[in-house]
Amino acid sequence: MADNGNGATVRVLVAVGLGLLRQALVVLLTGQDGIEVVAEVAEVDDTAAVLRLARLRSPDVVVIDLHQSPARELVTVEQLRAQLPRISIVAMVRSHPEGLLRTLLSAETTRPALAVIDKDCSATQLVDAVRAAARGELVFDTSVALAVLVSEPSPLTGREQEVLRLVAAGASNREISTRLRLAPGTVRNYLSGVITKTRARNRVDAVRIAQESGWL
C-alpha cells in the first residue's frame, strides 16, 4: 500500500471553492491506496475556518486551490504554514499571476513540504504531488517554474505585498494593523510606499496595477 514513506496513511484536507472540482478531487484521492480524505472545505479564503478544521481533523496534507481569491487564499496558506508547520501544502495554481508564484517560492513560511502544481496537471501528477508533500518534499511542476523564471520581479517587499493582499481582500487599515500586528502609522507608511512604487493614484489603483502585473 502506498503511503507517506513511514507506513502511515496520508490524511488529506481538500480546500477548494468550486463544488464540482472539490468533489472530483475527493473522489480521485479517496480512490488512491494509502490516501484518506479526512475533510473538505469550500471557504478557502476563510482562514480561521480552514485553521479550525485543520486542527480538528489533523491532516498531513492540505490541497488548496489558489484561484478564486488568490490574495485571500494565500493568507490562508501562509497562516497554515505559520501556525501548523507540520502540515504539508499542495497549492493548485494557474501559471499566472507570476507574483503569486514568486511569493510561494520565496516566502519563509512556504519552504519544505510544499508542492505547487498547475491546475492543468494530470490526475497522476496531483496524486504524486500529494505523496511528495507528505514526505516533506518541495515540488514545482515545469509550467509553474517557467512562469516564475520569465516574469518580472515585483518592486514590492514581502511586507508590502502582505499589506496589499489584505487591501485586495477588503480589509481596512485598522483590520490590517490588527492582522499583521503593526501600528496604524506603519500600515499607512507601507501603503504610501506601495502607491509610490506602483505609480498608482490610490490604494485601489495599486491593487489593480499589482494584480495586472502579477505582483499579487
What dihedral angle (degrees, nearest 10) is formed by the CA atoms of 48, 54, 55, 56?
A: 110
The answer to whether the CB of 206 falls within 8 A of the CB of 198 is: yes
Residue 90's beta-bridge partner residues? 63, 115
User: How far is Cα 132 from Cα 136, in angstroms, rounded to an integer?
Assistant: 7
State the chain's mean pLDDT as an integer: 83
- What is the model's pTM? 0.65
User: How far is Cα 165 from Cα 163, in angstroms, rounded to an integer?
Assistant: 6
Q: What is the pLDDT of residue 22?
A: 92
Phi, psi of 123 (to 5 degrees): -60, -40
Share above pLDDT 70 across residues of the chain, in percent, rounded to a whole number: 80
Domain with CATH 1.10.10.10 in the chain: 158-212
Domain with CATH 3.40.50.2300 in the chain: 10-150
Most confident listed range (32-46, 59-73, 83-97, 199-213) = 32-46
CATH topology of domain 158-212: Arc Repressor Mutant, subunit A (1.10.10)
User: How far is Cα 26 from Cα 4, in angstroms, rounded to an integer?
Assistant: 18
pLDDT tens by residue, 120-159? 888 999 999 999 999 988 877 765 555 555 456 678 888 9
Share above pLDDT 90 across residues of the chain, in percent, rounded to a whole number: 45
Residue 72 — left, alpha, or beta (φ > 0 → left; ψ -120 to 50 → alpha)? Answer: alpha
Grade residue 1 by pLDDT with cuts at 50, 70 and 90: very low
pLDDT tens by residue, 74-126? 788 888 888 898 999 998 887 555 556 656 665 554 455 678 888 888 899 99
What superfamily would CATH give domain 10-150? Answer: Response regulator (3.40.50.2300)
